[in-house]
Amino acid sequence: MPGSLFDAPKYDPARERRRRVKIVIGSVVVMVIALLLWFNRYWPQERRVEHFFAQLKSQNFEAAYGIWTNDPDWKEHQNAHRRYPYARFYEDWGPDGEWGPIRSYRIVGAMKSQADASGVVIGVRVNQRKELCSLWVEFKDQSLGFSPDQMVE
């Protein structure tokens, strides 16, 4: 009778050790990848805010407004942005705005205010101020807005 218990291959401890090492390494790799994905889950939204502040720092307010509205051709259809027109944006983010001229910025973190939220709050330290600038980034279209929740460090 082929394949019976009496025909089983001999136990090889080196082979078993290699098998265990492969399983442990595979498990560690999967956990590291899972952790990297978890800690970088808001990376696209953080990069969006990074680009926004880079444009503000270089005083390219029109490009910054294009990032804010997620509409680089916003000049061609300004009626679509009546709720927050460019003039108001310039008042808020221009040199005389609340944050003044942007000389430095650093993204501090990101958080979801609620489990079913449609976006994420990104906290940015602007001009080394103690208070954080909290911006909202929508998941569906990556547009920016003022956050209803203030982020604290």
pLDDT digits (tens, 9 = 90+) for 111-141: 887 778 889 999 999 999 999 999 999 999 9
Q: Is position 37 within any domain?
A: no
The whole-angstrom distance between residue 83's C-alpha and the CA centroid of its chain comes to 25
Q: Is position 140 within any domain?
A: yes
Q: Is position 34 within any domain?
A: no
137 Cβ partners below 8 Å, 6+ apart? 45, 48, 49, 119, 120, 122, 143, 144, 145
The domain total for the chain is 1
- Measure the CA–CA gap between 79 and 45, rounded to whole angstroms: 26
Tokens standing for 28? 């560690």
Q: What is the pLDDT of residues 42-72, one digit of tens each?
A: 999 999 999 999 999 999 999 999 999 999 9
Residues in the chain: 153
> Using an 8 Å Cβ cutoff, are 49 and 125 in contact?
no
Arithmetic mean of pLDDT, 84-100: 93
Q: Is position 152 within any domain?
A: no
Q: Is position 2 within any domain?
A: no
Pairing verdict, β 105-111 and 133-138: unpaired
- How far are the Cα atoms of 11, 80, 136, 144 from residue 83, in angstroms, in the given order? 74, 8, 16, 13
Q: Is position 79 within any domain?
A: yes
Residue 97: which domain range?
A: 43-146
Q: Is position 67 within any domain?
A: yes
Confidence tier at 2 by pLDDT (50, 70, 90): low
Q: Is position 55 within any domain?
A: yes
Q: What percent of the chain has pLDDT over 70?
A: 97
What is the overall mean pLDDT for the chain? Answer: 91
